Amino acid sequence: MDKRLAWITGGGTGIGRTLALKLAADGWQVVVSGRRPEPLAETAGHAPQAIHPWPLDVGDLAAVRRSVPAIEAAHGPIALAVLNAGIYEPVKLDNFKGETFAAHMQVNFLGVVNCMDALLPPMRARKSGHMVLVASVAGYRGLPLAAAYGPTKAALINLAESMKGMFERAGLTLSICNPGFVETPLTEGNVFPMPFLMTVDDAAEALYRGIKRRKFEIAFPTRFVLILKVLRALPYALYFPLIKRMTGR
C-alpha cells in the first residue's frame, strides 16, 4: 500500500516506541497508543509527520471499540497491529495480592483480546491485516517472580495457537512475539541477573524482521529461547533444581 498504517499499543516506551520509529523510517504511518499521553507525545515528536499519538486504556473494551474505527477514519485502514501494551510486577509471598493478578490479566491478556475484538471486523471485511500479539518467553513455563506476569503471557501464546488457523482461513496473518530480557522500563527494576539481555533497538529490529517475514512465532534472542524451550520439555524433577540453580530462587 502507498500509505501503510500500523497501530502499536504500548507505543510510548520500550519496544513499542522503538518499533514505531523503525516503521516510520521505513515509510509507514504509525498510531501509538498507551494510557499516558506524555510518552506518546514524546514518541510522536521524533517523527511528527509519521507517528500519531492516540491515548487509550486497552483494558477498557468500550473505549477500544470506539478507538479502532476512529483511528481508521482519521488515518486509514490498519494494516498492522502490534498489541504490545503490558505491565510487570514481581510477585513474592509477602506481596501476594489478588489485585496484582487481576491488573496483569486486565492489561496483558484482556487488553490484547479487546484490541482483537475491535480489529477483526474491519480486517475480515478487507480480507487483509496482520496482528502481532506480544507475549514473552516467560509464558513458556513458570519462572520465579513471574507468577502474575507469566500466566498472562502463557495465555497469549495459547490464544495465538488456537486462532492461527482461523486467521489464515480469513485471509489474515497472526503472529506471537516472545521476547527474552530487553532493556525497557519493565525490566529496569529487576535486581536479579538477566541472561542474554538485549538492547531495545536490537529487540525492535528482531521483531520488525519477523513481521516482514510474517513469521508465526517471533522469538529472541535465539540462544535464550532455545534454552527455555528445552527447559519446557523437562520433567519437574529436573526442571525445578535447574531453575533454582540458575536463579537462586
* Residues carrying an active site annotation: 149
Strand 130-134, strand 217-220: pairing: unpaired
Question: Sheet harboring 29-34: ordered strands across?
Answer: 51-55, 29-34, 5-9, 80-83, 130-134, 173-179, 217-220
For the chain, state the CA radius of gyration: 18
Evaluated on CA atoms 216, 146, 117, 26, the torsion sign reads: negative
Rounded Cα distance between 243 and 214, Å, is: 33
Give residues with Cβ within 8 angstroms of 158, minimum separation 6. Answer: none
